Structure 1
Amino acid sequence: MSVKKGDVVRVVREKLENSLEAAASDTRFPSYIFETKGEVLDARGDYLLVQFGHVPTPNMWLRADQLEKFE
């Protein structure tokens, strides 16, 4: 099941925390990316731009394999 533009998703903690991106940056990820729904706004290659919640939080580019559809 692939994730595409318009899908509602959440971040898979294990896949993000053990990624190359996590090793190259601050690993204190905000809890809302794991707990709230995010909407895929754009896609470029293997990366998807995700907007989380209805509060003013920054959109994030994440690899498609680090996301799963929110059920």
Structure 2
Amino acid sequence: MTAESPRWFKSSYSNNGGACVEVAANLVGSLGVVPVRDSKSQSGPVLSASPAAFATFVAGVKAGEFGAV
């Protein structure tokens, strides 16, 4: 078990329009997960993705697979 706390950050591409997610990539090494949360609900639920699943998601976003918001 680790006492390491998540260090949350938003993408530099975020325009702070409220439709943002935050990730805590610092936990990949110690826990093997990438925690993801809604930036508007910081005390709300956290989704934990595997590093491979998160990388696939990011690649899909960059490729435009999810359409415009």
TM-score bucket of the superposed structures, by smaller chain: 0.3 to 0.5
Q: Greater CA radius of gyration, 1 or 2?
A: 2
* Higher helix proportion (structure 1 or 2): 2
TM-score normalised by the chain length of structure 1: 0.34
| Larger relative contact order, structure 1 or 2 (CA cutoff 8 Å, min sep 6) | 1
TM-score normalised by the chain length of structure 2: 0.35
